[in-house]
Amino acid sequence: MTNPKTPSLMINRILLSSLLFSQFLFLTAQIHPWTGEKLAHTFSIVARDPGTGEMAVGVQSHWFSVGTIVSWGKSGVGVVATQSFVDPAYGPNGLKLMSDGQSAEQALQLLVAADRGRDYRQVAFLDMNGNVSAFTGKKCIASASHVIGDNYSVQANMMVDEDVIPAMSKAFVDNADQPLAERVLLAMVAAQLAGGDIRGRQSAALIVVGPDLVENSWKDKMVDLRVEDHEYPIRELSRLLRVHRAYEHMNRGDLAVERGEMEMALEEYGAAEAMLPHNLEMKFWKAVALANNGRLEEALPVFKSLFRRDECWRQLAGRLPDSGLLMVSEEELQMIIE
């Protein structure tokens, strides 16, 4: 006679086994089974502009917040990209070795030699002199490779096919007339257009550091942008870089105001507004700069448009004379805020 509990018991065991197997797949999709390190299968580029000395890392992956573990850089020292089964220590340790005088190749060789998980690593170093070194472990998931060129290295693993790396390299070489950050982005776009990560895309990051050592850590990165979780991370990264460039003009405009160079401030604020024409902040400070340059008639319709959209800008305008940022007479101030 069949035990009526047997089918139920079998089903429970099957469900439990299925659940455990699913959890195993979930865990092994995120960490290496014996090193315990996170995956960041991805494509990246380390690069240097020989004209300016700027150095950059660009990266995209189907992984959350890839920029927090892959991209590393220090002005006057170099940049590092560490990926595949990531050991983030390659970042700070590599920068320390290069800071102490080791070349990119020497620093990378030292760290790889001491790493028992080297077969699963993919790492690229670039130093302030333009020396480049890269390593792709033999157990990185195909398609995995790297290409080293003049002042750059591109590297990728778990790509759709072997076309990704050459496309990335070609785009970087072909756009030598672009600023470094934009040039790196173009290389990343080319990688994605060639197929990119076989799993898709989720996050991206871009950092740029300068050619000279800086004393203040908050001045170390000239560009520091991350897209943590997005359907089109490179597209969003490109948008953020444009916003970054616009605010560089805003910052230069602010400095010009501090120096009393109102014509220069107007030029910089105007350039920012041209890049982001729907940004109210930029319209406001352009209007302030117009008023400060004796062009109140041009400023008034801009103020009026802003106040119509948000009354807070009217309140702010009224506060500026006391700080010396809006240099108009009391009568002119009333014309602005009324």
Closest CA to 190 of 166, 168, 211, 223: 168
190 plus 269 within the same structural domain: no
Q: Above 50 in pLDDT, residue 227?
A: yes
> Looking at the domain assignment, is residue 100 inside a domain?
yes
Closest CA to 96 of 127, 124, 134, 56: 127
67 plus 112 within the same structural domain: yes
User: How many angstroms separate the CA atoms of 94 and 293, rounded?
Assistant: 50
Q: Above 50 in pLDDT, residue 241?
A: yes
Q: Residue 325's domain is classified under what CATH number? A: 1.25.40
292 plus 163 within the same structural domain: no
Mean predicted lDDT score pLDDT of the chain: 89
7 pLDDT tier (thresholds 50, 70, 90): very low
218 pLDDT tier (thresholds 50, 70, 90): confident
Q: SS3 of 254, please?
A: helix
Domain count, the chain: 2
pLDDT of residue 92: 98
From residue 96, alpha-carbon distances to 43, 108, 223 in Å are 24, 11, 21
Token duo for residue 336: 């602005």
User: How many angstroms separate the CA atoms of 138 and 128, rounded?
Assistant: 28
Q: Above 60 in pLDDT, residue 302?
A: yes
39 pLDDT tier (thresholds 50, 70, 90): low
> Looking at the domain assignment, is residue 304 inside a domain?
yes
Task: Residue 332: count other Cβ atoms within 10 Å of its Cβ.
Answer: 16
Domain that holds residue 92: 39-231
Query: Which of the listed residues 231, 255, 281 is the one where a domain comes to its end?
Result: 231
Residues 6+ apart with CB under 8 A from 125: 46, 78, 79, 80, 94, 98, 104, 105, 107, 108, 132, 133, 134
Residues 6+ apart with CB under 8 A from 257: 265, 289, 292, 325
pLDDT of residue 197: 87
Amino acid at 5: K
Q: Above 50 in pLDDT, residue 64?
A: yes
In the predicted model, what is the mean pLDDT of residues 209-225? Answer: 93
139 plus 217 within the same structural domain: yes
> Looking at the domain assignment, is residue 63 inside a domain?
yes
169 plus 86 within the same structural domain: yes
In the predicted model, what is the mean pLDDT of residues 237-255? Answer: 96
pLDDT (tens digit, 9 = 90+) per residue, 120-151? 999 999 999 999 999 999 999 999 999 999 99
Give the residue with greater pLDDT, 338 vs 101. 101
User: How many angstroms separate the CA atoms of 43 and 156, rounded?
Assistant: 4
Q: Above 70 in pLDDT, residue 40?
A: no
Task: Residue 9: count other Cβ atoms within 10 Å of its Cβ.
Answer: 10
Token duo for residue 154: 């591109």
| Helix axes of 330-337 and 296-309: crossing angle, nearest 10 degrees | 40
Percent of the chain with pLDDT over 70: 88
pLDDT of residue 104: 98
User: How many angstroms separate the CA atoms of 298 and 223, rounded?
Assistant: 34
Handedness of CA 213, 155, 168, 43 (dihedral sign): negative
10 pLDDT tier (thresholds 50, 70, 90): very low
203 pLDDT tier (thresholds 50, 70, 90): very high
29-33, 241-245, 283-287, 322-326: which has the minimum mean pLDDT?
29-33
pLDDT (tens digit, 9 = 90+) per residue, 313-326? 999 999 999 999 99
